[in-house]
Amino acid sequence: MFTKLSRAKVFRDPLYGYIQVNYKIISDLIDSREVQRLRRIRQLSGVSMVFQTAEHSRFTHSLGAYQMANLVIDNVEGMDKVSEYERVVFLIAALLHDIGHGPYSHAFEHVLECSHEDMTVKLILSKETEVNKILSIQDGLAEDVASVIRHDNKHPLIESLVSSQLDVDRMDYLSRDAYMTGATYGHIDYFRILRSMKIIDGTVCVRASGVHSIEAYLMSRYHMYFQVYYHPVARAYETILEGIYERIKDLSMEGVRIDASIVSFLNVLKNNDDIESYIDLDDTNVNGFIKQLTWCSDPVLNKLANAFEKRHLYNFVELVNEPDEKFLDDLKKKYSNMEYGKYFYKNVKVSGVAYMHSPKSDINAIRVLLPDGSLKILDQYSPIIKGLKSSSYKEIERIFYFED
């Protein structure tokens, strides 16, 4: 059904040694404009301001998620019973799952008010994209890949393998981000996890003998979020970026001309269905216009752009530490009364939990296969996870404020 390359294409990778491509359609998708664009978008955005080696791109992660999907196919019992068509849909969805990310990723989403998953679906289905033209060689293929990203329940097994609490996306980014940041608590035994997985009646299960590796994986993810992804310095850097985006948006709504080359950005702000402009946006594009904004006549953009360029970050107060109430009140009044104060004072909350499962989010359930063939939900089987489900919820609230 799908043409194979006469000779496999390989990519060297620090995690897997080699990433192997056997299908021509995968090779063509990797070379597409939309996937190559991911080379110019950092995987970890502002985290590189703290962990200086975290310079890897969304492209390297997307290839990694694809390779993890290959490892699932080769190592998870029961995947041999999945049709070739669904296996290729799985490989493609793993490769393309992040193509909708904007420059500096999540900071861009907050201002655009459109998730990267929604943009991924748009890029897959748009007749304007190279990705869509490549997928169109097979009737219905683009729609099937998009349905996996949307969680339409058309291919429930593939959906859970691409996006759930135990999926190829998370297993690659935890391993890759830990490697690139040097954060040892993010290392996971993904091969042991894969060997413990089994497909039963179209559902992913984990053998009881592999539960320890799942417990370690969930704790690694939990620590990575609070020690790396939510690091206050990384969040301070992204807060400056969000302020720049917000100011540009506000000025554009007022009809004010901005002295920088931001045509594509403005086009997307006005209409996030402008696919051509969206594809034009990446970290390189944003870095270029922020450098121009360091000479901008608008005082807010000038100040924020210079802060971004020079790493002059927001100060922050963590409210969990019960800071002085008078200090907080004075701080809030100062920025409330300040012209443009809303761009320089932000209240930011982040939260996380080690294991999430409820009857309403069944895709997040991790099922344990017992020796007698029966199944139990992970938190019913593991006392550690049962305790984490009720006690690991953590919320951090910080006040970020900018001082000259």
Query: Where exactly are the structural domains of the chain?
Result: 4-195
- Among residues 92, 38, 39, which one has the least CA distance to residue 70? 92
Q: What CATH number should be reported for the domain whose range is 4-195? A: 1.10.3210.10
Q: What's the CA dihedral at 156, 106, 168, 380 to 10 degrees? A: -70
Residue 104 confidence (pLDDT): 86
Contact 230, 398 (CB under 8 A): no
User: What 3-state class would DSSP assign to 174?
Assistant: helix
Token code pair at residue 185: 């608590």
CA distances from residue 241 to 31, 98, 105, 255, 267 in whole angstroms, order as listed: 30, 21, 11, 21, 18
For the entire predicted model, the pTM comes to 0.95
pLDDT, mean of each 10-residue run, the chain (404 residues): 94 97 98 98 92 95 98 97 97 97 83 87 96 96 97 95 95 96 90 96 95 95 93 93 93 86 89 92 93 94 95 90 84 92 93 75 82 94 90 91 86
Packing angle, helices 116-125 and 141-150, rounded to 10: 170
Contact 159, 361 (CB under 8 A): no
Other C-beta atoms lying within 10 Å of the C-beta of residue 18: 10
